[in-house]
Structure 1
Amino acid sequence: MAHLTFLFFLISSLFLSSQANLHLQPLRNQEESFTSILVSQQGLDFIKDLLINKAISSIIPLQLPATIEKSARIPFLGNVHMVISNVTIYKIDVLSSYVKPGNTGIAIVASGTTCNLTMNWHYSYSSWLLPIEISDGGRASVQVEGMEVGLTLGLENHEGTLKLSLMDCGCYVKEITIKLDGGASWLYQGMINAFEEQIGSAVENAITNKLKYGILKLDSFLRSLPKEIPVDDNASLNVSFVENPLLSSSFIEFDINGLFTAKEKVQIPKHYRQTWQPSVFCSDQSKMLGISLDEAVFNSASALYYDAEFMEWIVDKVPDQALLNTAGWRFIIPQLYKKYPNDDMNLNISLSSPPLIRISGHNIGATVYADVIIDVVEAGQVIPVACISLEIHGSGSVKIVGNNLGGSVKLDDLVMSLKWSQIGNLRMYLIQPVMWTLVQTVVIPYANSYLGKGFPLPIIHGFTLLNAEITLSSSKVTVCSDVAYSESHNLNQLGIYFE
């Protein structure tokens, strides 16, 4: 059987997914945005924890660049010169943290943070009691407690990509404990405590600078995200952002265009049906992620492939080969067998208009208008003998297969009419079962073999959907899910570096 490009794509387009629309408010600017992604507070907490762990693992060990020196005159001892060097943060523990989106930005705060450091210390002093300089040194361990780190991020659309800006950033050290090792540390412990303020300030500056640099790298990563995702050699998905993200007290929503676009300059109709309905809710509001698809995305796909003339094919092989020989039609179309006895046949199928896909609260339906030309192959010559118009109605179900959105399709109804004939009038009620069998035994199993495997949802490599649920509503398919992250993957694969 020749390529079934169209029907495979048509039915699979019922399930192809990009990011879509889970709202707690009516859809904004729907004439431009057909898909969105909503990250709930639970999802933001999950991402925040991952990024904090990534930041900590990237920062440590962190050597503070400055060498801290002090000189003082101490009665009876004379001039004392004190130096602290090689101050290195080797451990950071975050007791608690939170992320909170708001109208002005996204606030991330880590509190109750402890920080462990090591450093070298050195003393030298001279006294009128002794004619020579005396020095001593060793190692010290430092415990920073009660440290708070906070930053506020701005997020906006910049020519279809996301721009991340640092609106505010700070680090505050509450308390420092220094314990000396080596030398006559018991003698100098009181004096070394005088460095607490400088050490605290150095830690604050080092952490703040690293965070600023990390945000710049994260902004660079976001702005490098592609505006189109290739689907195949002919189509891409337009994932450019539309307007600024919607920041709420409990979620962030990103709206994207979401329509299929042609790689070649094929003109695609833009008159997709718009809906101005209340937003779609997940039945479980604790889910981290909401992904939903407007039916306009699927209809843009069908329009693209229709205009690109991919919805035509010739059927020359079927499970019951008698269906493609005039002998198999002798009781259905007697005049065909009489005129062309025992000749092979082809069925030339082409669509008369783009498939129409509709999504309701109960199912996903597709209506296909096609013309089937019955060809007789005689002595190597293809002879068109009749054309039958089909109106095919199908419905599908969806399921989650790993990170894929898969499913199956079934044939609901088939309406036929004779468009033209070179062999006289045809009894359509006799031909109806043959056409039904053709669609049921050839097209549907072929499509379902692909649909069972599913098509990938836009999940970053290393993340997997967990306990996903699917909801259908008027014009939309919504996937609500938690996500898990595999520790075997490295977040550096996202292109985010804090070093």
Structure 2
Amino acid sequence: MAPPIMLLLLLASFLIPTQTQFQVEAKDQAFTSIVISQKGLDFLKELLVTEAVSSIIPLQVPQIKKSMRVPFLGSVYMVVSNITIYGIDVGSSYIKLGDDGIAIIASETTCNLSMNWYYSYSTWVAPVEVSDEGSASVKVEGVEVGLTLGLGIQEGTLKLSLKDCGCHVKEISIKLDGGASWFYQGMINAFEEQIGSAVENSITKKLKDGIVKLDSVLQALPKEIPLDDDTYLNATFVNDPVLSNSSIGFEINGLFTARRKPSVSEYHNKDSKALVACSDPSKMLGIALDEAVFNSVAATYFDAEFMQWTVDKIPDQSFLNTAGWRFVIPQLYKKYPNHDMNLNISLSSPPVIKISEHNIGAIIYADLIIDVLDENSVIPVACISLVIRASSSVKLSGNNLAGSMKVDDFSMSLKWSNIGNLRMYLIQPVVWTVIQTVFVPYVNSHLGKGIPLPIVHGFTVQNGELLCSGSRIMVCSDVTYEPSDSNNLNGFLQSLSKYTPAT
């Protein structure tokens, strides 16, 4: 019924927040902190109840046989078969969180059943067997279901365990159809207790089977979420979940790593963070990303040698001919008059990203190499080292965390030259123009695409806000859900285990 599906929200829990403060005491390295709040649980509960019911019904209940001796009639044999729960109406349900685990209660639930009945008896008066049969509709009311679940971490994935499970039927009514049903109604009512017990056992067994299935899906969740063909997010869970009376807290590694070779850059030093909280308690979803996550993206792309490009077109194309530099670097024009040029820009080390309460700053170390094109050859003539200090802004773009940067200032020095000494104060305005018209738009074109938030397929952030605090970024948002190619539970489970990154 509905309750086992509540735990699917844990599968969707690569995020969900609350205003509740979440204490982070990492034993291992974790750079993404997650909290599932009561409001988030309630949202997913309402969303998943329908899918839970559709996954359970129709539910077949074992047939029931009964025989008895009745005065003046003799031996009576009764069978109720093909008992099928075809409808479930969940009145109310809730989740209670505590130190012992996750308690899930569903009450005021009604089940509608159909069944076939068969009745026969033989009497001592005459050796004749009398029988009749027909169908019946059954309404089971006041069904209460409860289970307690434990949640832990096993080899980097979530481990679900069933601590307690039970189902209780308060009231049952049977209405016979067919045959001489009016005559047998009183006797068939004797099956009420057995039918109620069979319903309890069937629902309990279904719940237990569902928890086993959920646990297997949790174990199969990917530990690597692709950003592209070369980079993936390390989604390994770290440390045991933290349960309070109003939230469930998780930590994942959260760093991006190259698929083909490990990053050699040092970005995984993490200071302990005391509190993670969304300032707006009305938001359903929140996730804290440590600045190490962003530095890991930068370091991974740097190690993959993606952060270098050749500039052969700029808004003022005259800067790509030595004639445009004749007053800035006269010896360049003298040695290579009217030669076309390229500018090679490459980062000399990974950018360093720092997040503070009021600013997201970046320090970028780059080399600008001036190339002269001489017939079929490319001649490097000088290299200028740049230290660019920039500030960035971030925004939510769908399920991606995107951004843009602007340059605050930069410094430059001559690294080497094949054309003699350069007067840097003359070159600085030209380099500034190149940075503003080429470098910044190029970087922003990539930042605008963003990095995917680790959100399960089908869920979308909505009405989000961002908060920078204590060297990390907190995303606080509501969520919506749109089913993909399947509206049933199996399809939903498959969409979770086959996680695809947001685009």
Give the structure-1-normalised TM-score. 0.90
Q: 2:247 aligns with which of 233, 237, 251?
A: 251
Q: 1:493 aligns with which of 491, 494, 498?
A: 491
1:325 matched to which residue of 2? 321
2:184 and 2:15 mapped to 1: Cα distance?
Answer: 62
Q: Quick check: 1:359–1:475 contact (8 Å CA) kept in 2?
A: yes
Q: Secondary structure at the match of 1:369?
A: strand
Tell me which amino acid in the other structure corresponds to 2:490: N
Q: Which runs of 5+ in 1 are unaligned?
A: 1-17
- Higher mean displacement: 299-308 or 433-442: 299-308
1:36 matched to which residue of 2? 33
1:112 and 1:21 mapped to 2: Cα distance?
Answer: 29
- Higher mean displacement: 143-152 or 260-269: 260-269
Q: Secondary structure at the match of 2:120?
A: strand
Q: Secondary structure at the match of 2:276?
A: coil
1:175 aligned to 2:171? yes
2:347 and 2:41 mapped to 1: Cα distance?
Answer: 46
Give the C-alpha shift of residue 74 in structure 1: 1.6
1:154 and 1:137 mapped to 2: Cα distance?
Answer: 47
Cα deviation 1:381-426 (Å, max 9, x = unaligned): 3333222111111222122222222232222212112223333332
- Higher mean displacement: 383-392 or 249-258: 383-392
Give the C-alpha shift of residue 240 in structure 1: 0.8
1:417 matched to which residue of 2? 413
2:280 matched to which residue of 1? 284
1:107 aligned to 2:103? yes
Give the C-alpha shift of residue 453 in structure 1: 4.5
Aligned residues with identical type, % of pairs: 66
Give the C-alpha shift of residue 131 in structure 1: 4.1
1:265 and 1:368 mapped to 2: Cα distance?
Answer: 23
Q: 1:287 to 1:354 in 2, by over 3 A?
A: same
Aligned ranges 1:195-206 → 2 under 5 Å: 195-206=191-202
Q: 1:288 to 1:416 in 2, by over 3 A?
A: same
Q: 1:284 to 1:30 in 2, by over 3 A?
A: farther
Aligned ranges 1:34-183 → 2 under 5 Å: 34-65=31-62, 67-183=63-179
Q: Secondary structure at the match of 2:161?
A: strand
2:302 and 2:225 mapped to 1: Cα distance?
Answer: 20
Cα deviation 1:336-374 (Å, max 9, x = unaligned): 212221112222223232210011112221111112122
2:378 and 2:213 mapped to 1: Cα distance?
Answer: 63
1:27 aligned to 2:24? yes
2:183 and 2:16 mapped to 1: Cα distance?
Answer: 67
- Higher mean displacement: 369-378 or 216-225: 369-378
1:446 aligned to 2:433? no
Give the C-alpha shift of residue 44 in structure 1: 1.1
Aligned ranges 1:253-268 → 2 under 5 Å: 253-268=249-264
Give the C-alpha shift of residue 487 in structure 1: 5.0
1:378 aligned to 2:353? no
Q: 1:314 to 1:79 in 2, by over 3 A?
A: same
For CA contacts below 8 A with separation 6 or more, give which structure has more relative contact order: 1
Tell me which amino acid in the other structure corresponds to 1:330: R
Aligned ranges 1:334-353 → 2 under 5 Å: 334-353=330-349
Q: Quick check: 2:257–2:263 contact (8 Å CA) kept in 1?
A: no
Give the C-alpha shift of residue 96 in structure 1: 0.6
- Higher mean displacement: 52-61 or 455-464: 455-464
1:411 and 1:341 mapped to 2: Cα distance?
Answer: 33
1:3 matched to which residue of 2? none
1:381 and 1:487 mapped to 2: Cα distance?
Answer: 56
Q: What's the C-alpha RMSD, in Å, of the aligned pairs? A: 2.2
- Higher mean displacement: 359-368 or 225-234: 225-234
2:295 and 2:447 mapped to 1: Cα distance?
Answer: 18
Give the C-alpha shift of residue 146 in structure 1: 0.9
1:476 matched to which residue of 2? 472
Tell me which amino acid in the other structure corresponds to 1:117: L
Q: Which runs of 5+ in 2 are unaligned?
A: 1-13, 496-503
Give the C-alpha shift of residue 454 in structure 1: 4.0
Aligned ranges 1:179-218 → 2 under 5 Å: 179-218=175-214
Q: 1:86 to 1:367 in 2, by over 3 A?
A: same
Tell me which amino acid in the other structure corresponds to 1:494: F
1:269 and 1:451 mapped to 2: Cα distance?
Answer: 21
1:8 matched to which residue of 2? none
Tell me which amino acid in the other structure corresponds to 2:257: T
Give the C-alpha shift of residue 312 in structure 1: 3.0
Q: Quick check: 2:22–2:277 contact (8 Å CA) kept in 1?
A: no
Q: Quick check: 1:113–1:145 contact (8 Å CA) kept in 2?
A: yes
Give the structure-2-normalised TM-score. 0.89
Tell me which amino acid in the other structure corresponds to 1:343: H
Cα deviation 1:107-159 (Å, max 9, x = unaligned): 11101111111111121112233442211222111111111111111111111
Q: Quick check: 2:90–2:109 contact (8 Å CA) kept in 1?
A: yes
Q: Quick check: 1:71–1:79 contact (8 Å CA) kept in 2?
A: yes
1:302 and 1:329 mapped to 2: Cα distance?
Answer: 33
Tell me which amino acid in the other structure corresponds to 2:44: I
Cα deviation 1:203-260 (Å, max 9, x = unaligned): 0111111111111111111111111122233322211111111122111122111112
2:224 matched to which residue of 1? 228
Q: Quick check: 1:218–1:496 contact (8 Å CA) kept in 2?
A: no
- How many residues align? The count is 479
